[in-house]
Amino acid sequence: MIQNAWLIPVFPLIAFIILLFFGRALKEKASYVGITALALSFILAVLVLFERIGGETYTYVVKWIGFGESTITMGYEVTALNAMMLIVVTVVSLLVHIFSREYMREDDRIHVFYSYLGLFSFSMLGLVLAPNVLQLFIFWELVGLCSYLLVGFWYFKPEAAAAAKKAFLTTRIGDVGLLIGLVLLFNAVGSFEYSAVYSAVEAGLVGDTMVTIIAICIFLGAVGKSAQFPLHVWLPDAMEGPTPVSALIHAATMVAAGVYLVGVMYPVFLASSTAMTVVAYTGAITAIFAATIALVNTDIKRILAYSTISQLGYMMLALGTGGYVAGLFHLMTHAFFKALLFLGAGSVIFALHHRQDIRKMGGLWKRMKVTSVTFLIGALAIAGIFPLAGFWSKEGILAAAWEGGDMFLFIIAVVTAFMTAFYMFRLFFKAFTGEFRGDHEPHENTKLMTIPLTVLAILAVAAGFVNTPFSLGLETFLTDGLHVGHQAHGELWLAVLSIAVALAGIGLAWAMYGKGAIREDFLSQKVPGVHKLLLNKYYLDELYQKVFVSPTVAIGKFFWEVDRLFIDGIVNFVGRATRGSGRAFAKRHDGQLQTYGLVTIIGGLVVIAVAFVLRGYIG
């Protein structure tokens, strides 16, 4: 079965092609095509995972291009990490496909939506299965394209169009870094194959400085894709896309591709302590930075978006401090509970007729039972409450940060854990408890929406048990045959600290938004400057606008003028000269046959005369 792993991305591709040609005719039946394809992929992914657990890494490559002594291959590979990612991607994608059936029901372009989803699933699965960095890069760009298409799905909304453009351009900055990194890597190693890269780096064939440069360039790509500081600005805006898209692409899968990239290139990072420090610090800064913004935001999807950024920073932090398994484990659990939270938010938004402001919600607990319960499970999971999935993975990250030895990073990790619990439960209490403050009475959604939520809630509870300190299933699985260094494991006090911090955050949120013991505008009253800074997202968008966007636009305008006046001027001059001379000579074309004859004869005579002179017959 593992030999047929290549079929996993092919099913969504077939769905995409079918919908491309027959989508208009199928209309909302298009969803069945997508769901069937993803279900097949999921089943196959499960079979592949089981076979991989008992077996070996399977690689199949064919030669694609050869030049000199180097060859570039194409193919697919099932490693432990791939097998895990396949499950994550197919599960979330399948559930999102089902959920969208209801969510996008009234959209005229639902078949387009499903074709994009299919293309995305194909690209993401292809990215995961890639056996070399070049192929990964190709799919990397494809998922970027799908993200662009889906964020801008409602392109008639100016914000959505702008957000799509922003997402595309911002990630492009990181992608340039990644491409440079890949070229340098190929130059240094002579191959794109993961195995060749690993062995070359581990044998020390690449110089220290070079390894650092390569690792940091590759990390740049991850920074763009995984919305790490300072390239995170696109992700909150990307929430303009449909909510299922946010759940699939901008929470569970595509943004995690950056973390996956670092994971896959982990030996390269391990070879350079500088690069590891860069990764750890970028992750830490992103984690706390995004968490602080999430504290004050009032848009349900944007809070979740900042939460995503923060959690991705957490994974980077783990990877940067040597917690290879912790980071990837958190990637998996996060995919489940963040997809759950996003789909829950989607359910709320759908019930409220596309209102996203949490100040206009409240009291949903009584009105939307399933959504509320599953959302609560997701919130508890992300807060890290025992024994939910988030607890196990977050504890692993804290352990890695502790054993990394950098107190600063550890404190940031703990503070972020506190903030995470706080803002998630601020969201929960505001939206689901108290009085309903909206103007349109919501009702629980149909089974098509609640079943995916339930499945994800079960996963958010259960996914953590694959890697507990008592049975390190995932760790053994992932690290088998890889040299990724020692993996930290939490001790009891760390678990207690983690739960205590989470409970403190939940308690504070309850005190402020549940019980009302502390005034809600506490922060804005006491320190209005800080509150304003957070509300405006540290003014980073404005800063980028002034420093990067405006000068670029100005330069563009300048060159446009040069083009218009100078280059177009030359072209227009040539055009006018041709037309003018044509007009002048047209006057000589007077219809007199005898004139034509005369001119012909004189012309012939001139030719003869020239020939005579040149041949020397005359003169």
Partner 1 sequence: MVSITLFLALGAILFCIGLYGVLTRRHLVIVLACVELMLNAVNINLVAFSSIGPFANVTGQVFTLFVISVAAAEVAVGLAILIALYRNRDSIDVIKHDLLRW
Partner 2 sequence: MSSQMIFFLAFAVIAIACAVLVVKLDRISHRIVAMAFNFFAVAGLYFLLGAEFIGIIQIIVYAGAVTILFIFGMMMTEHRHITFGNNPRRVHRILSLLGVGTLLGLMLYGILNLDLPADNEQFYGSAEKIGVELYGHYVVAFIGIGFLLTAALIGAIVIARKEAK
Nearest to 117 by CA among 300, 26, 247, 302: 247
Q: Give Dmax over CA atoms of the chain in angstroms.
A: 118
Q: Within 490-519, which residues bind partner 2 (CB under 8 A)?
A: none
Pairing relation of β-strands 70-78 and 58-67?
antiparallel
* Residue 59, strand partner residues: 77
Q: Which residue from 593, 614, 615, 616 is in contact with partner 1, where contact means CB under 8 A?
A: 593
User: Among residues 407 and 609, whose Cβ is nearest to partner 2?
Assistant: 609
User: Among residues 435 and 594, whose Cβ is nearest to partner 1?
Assistant: 594
Kindly state the tokens that stand for 392. 């196990």
Burial of residue 550 (number of CB atoms within 10 Å: 0-12, 13-18, 19+)? exposed
| CA 167 – CA 58 distance, rounded (Å) | 35
Residue 601 sits in the site that holds partner 1 (CB under 8 A): yes
Task: Please choose which of partner 1, partner 2, none residue 590 contacts, taking the beta carbon within 5 to 8 angstroms, the exact cut-off set by kind.
Answer: partner 1
CB of 589 to partner 2, least distance (A): 16
User: Among residues 585 and 594, whose Cβ is nearest to partner 2?
Assistant: 594
Judged by CB under 8 A, how many residues of this single chain contact partner 2? Answer: 7
| CA 6 – CA 78 distance, rounded (Å) | 9
User: Among residues 69 and 590, whose Cβ is nearest to partner 1?
Assistant: 590
CB of 600 to partner 2, least distance (A): 10
Among 37-45, 64-72, 445-453, 593-601, the segment contacting partner 2 (CB under 8 A): 593-601
Judged by CB under 8 A, how many residues of this single chain contact partner 1? Answer: 11
Residue whose tokens read 């994608």: 93
CB of 619 to partner 1, least distance (A): 22
Residue 589 sits in the site that holds partner 2 (CB under 8 A): no
Determine the straight-line distance between the first and last CA of the chain, rounded to whole angstroms: 92
Q: Within 386-405, which residues bind partner 2 (CB under 8 A)?
A: none
Burial of residue 430 (number of CB atoms within 10 Å: 0-12, 13-18, 19+)? buried
* Site string (549-588) toward partner 2, x via CB under 8 A: ----------------------------------------
Residue 156 sits in the site that holds partner 2 (CB under 8 A): no
CB 523 within 8 A of CB 530: yes
User: Among residues 53 and 613, whose Cβ is nearest to partner 2?
Assistant: 613
| CA 319 – CA 278 distance, rounded (Å) | 11
Burial of residue 368 (number of CB atoms within 10 Å: 0-12, 13-18, 19+)? buried
Residue 592 sits in the site that holds partner 1 (CB under 8 A): yes
Residue 598 sits in the site that holds partner 1 (CB under 8 A): yes
The percent of the chain in helix, strand and coil, each rounded to the nearest 5, is: 75, 5, 20
Give the relative orientation of helices 492-509 and 407-432 as an angle to the nearest 10 degrees: 40
Q: Within 572-591, which residues bind partner 1 (CB under 8 A)?
A: 586-587, 589-591
Among 238-246, 283-291, 443-451, 594-602, the segment contacting partner 2 (CB under 8 A): 594-602
Q: Which residue from 67, 441, 443, 594 is in contact with partner 2, where contact means CB under 8 A?
A: 594
Q: Which residue from 411, 555, 608, 610 is in contact with partner 2, where contact means CB under 8 A?
A: 608
Task: Please choose which of partner 1, partner 2, none residue 605 contacts, taking the beta carbon within 5 to 8 angstroms, the exact cut-off set by kind.
Answer: partner 2
Residue 601 sits in the site that holds partner 2 (CB under 8 A): yes
Among 7-15, 50-58, 279-287, 595-603, the segment contacting partner 1 (CB under 8 A): 595-603
Task: Please choose which of partner 2, partner 1, none residue 587 contacts, taking the beta carbon within 5 to 8 angstroms, the exact cut-off set by kind.
Answer: partner 1
Residues 507/294/333/356 CA torsion (nearest 10 deg): 100
Among 74-82, 89-97, 459-467, 602-610, the segment contacting partner 2 (CB under 8 A): 602-610
Residues 503/504/505/509 CA torsion (nearest 10 deg): 100
Respond yes or no on whether the N-terminal peptide bond of residue 12 is cis (omega within 30° of 0).
no
- The neighbour count for residue 580, using CB atoms within 10 Å, is 10
Q: For residue 78, which phi and psi values (nearest 5 degrees)?
A: -115, 100
| CA 189 – CA 197 distance, rounded (Å) | 6
User: Among residues 62 and 614, whose Cβ is nearest to partner 2?
Assistant: 614
Q: If phi over 0 gives left and psi between -120 and 50 gives alpha, with beta otherwise, what is residue 214?
A: alpha
Among 239-247, 357-365, 503-511, 590-598, the segment contacting partner 2 (CB under 8 A): 590-598
User: Among residues 481 and 594, whose Cβ is nearest to partner 2?
Assistant: 594
| CA 570 – CA 129 distance, rounded (Å) | 52
CB of 571 to partner 2, least distance (A): 40
Q: Which residue from 1, 196, 602, 613 is in contact with partner 2, where contact means CB under 8 A?
A: 602
Residue 605 sits in the site that holds partner 2 (CB under 8 A): yes
Residue 607 sits in the site that holds partner 2 (CB under 8 A): no
| CA 498 – CA 559 distance, rounded (Å) | 56
Among 274-282, 446-454, 530-538, 596-604, the segment contacting partner 2 (CB under 8 A): 596-604
Residue 598 sits in the site that holds partner 2 (CB under 8 A): yes
Give, in degrees to the nearest 5, the angle at Cα 86 between 153 and 9: 60
CB 321 within 8 A of CB 409: yes
* Site string (531-570) toward partner 1, x via CB under 8 A: ----------------------------------------
DSSP string across 53-98: HHS--EEEEEEEEEETTEEEEEEEEE-HHHHHHHHHHHHHHHHHHH
- Side-chain half-sphere exposure of 355, counting CA atoms within 13 A: 16
CB of 578 to partner 1, least distance (A): 16
Distances (CA, A) of 473 to 221, 307, 466: 30, 28, 6
Kindly state the tokens that stand for 168. 């595309």
Q: Which residue from 594, 615, 618, 619 is in contact with partner 1, where contact means CB under 8 A?
A: 594
Task: Please choose which of partner 1, partner 2, none residue 54 contacts, taking the beta carbon within 5 to 8 angstroms, the exact cut-off set by kind.
Answer: none
CB of 559 to partner 1, least distance (A): 41
Residue 595 sits in the site that holds partner 2 (CB under 8 A): yes
Residue 108 sits in the site that holds partner 2 (CB under 8 A): no
User: Among residues 447 and 579, whose Cβ is nearest to partner 1?
Assistant: 579
User: Among residues 203 and 594, whose Cβ is nearest to partner 2?
Assistant: 594
Positions that interact with partner 1 (CB under 8 A): 586-587, 589-594, 597-598, 601
Positions that interact with partner 2 (CB under 8 A): 594-595, 598, 601-602, 605, 608
